[in-house]
Amino acid sequence: MKRKSTQCYLGLGSNIGDLKQNIDVAIKKISLLEDTQLIKVASFYLTKAWGNTRQQDFINTVISIKTKLEPNALLLVLQNIENEMGRVREEKWGPRTIDIDILLYEDIVVKQPQLTIPHPYLTERSFVLVPLFELDKTLVIPNQGQLVHFVEGKSHDNDIITII
From the candidates 57, 89, 99, 159, which is the catalytic residue?
99
Q: What is the pLDDT of residues 64-93, one digit of tens each?
A: 999 999 999 999 999 999 999 987 776 666
Helix (H, G, I), strand (E, B) or coil at 79: helix
Q: Is the distance from CB of 10 to CB of 27 less than 8 angstroms? A: no
Instruction: Say whether pTM exceeds 0.95.
Output: no
101 catalytic per annotation:
yes
Q: Is 30 exposed, middle or buried (0-12, 13-18, 19+ CB in 10 A)?
A: buried
Average pLDDT score, the chain: 89
99 catalytic per annotation:
yes
Looking at per-residue pLDDT, the higher value among 62 and 52 belongs to: 62
Per-residue model confidence (pLDDT) at position 93: 61
From the candidates 101, 107, 136, 157, which is the catalytic residue?
101
Per-residue model confidence (pLDDT) at position 164: 73
From the candidates 96, 107, 125, 159, which is the catalytic residue?
96
54 catalytic per annotation:
no
From the candidates 24, 35, 87, 136, which is the catalytic residue?
87
Q: Where are the domains of the chain?
A: 6-163
125 catalytic per annotation:
no
The yes/no answer on whether domain 6-163 falls in CATH 3.30.70.560 is yes
Per-residue model confidence (pLDDT) at position 155: 72
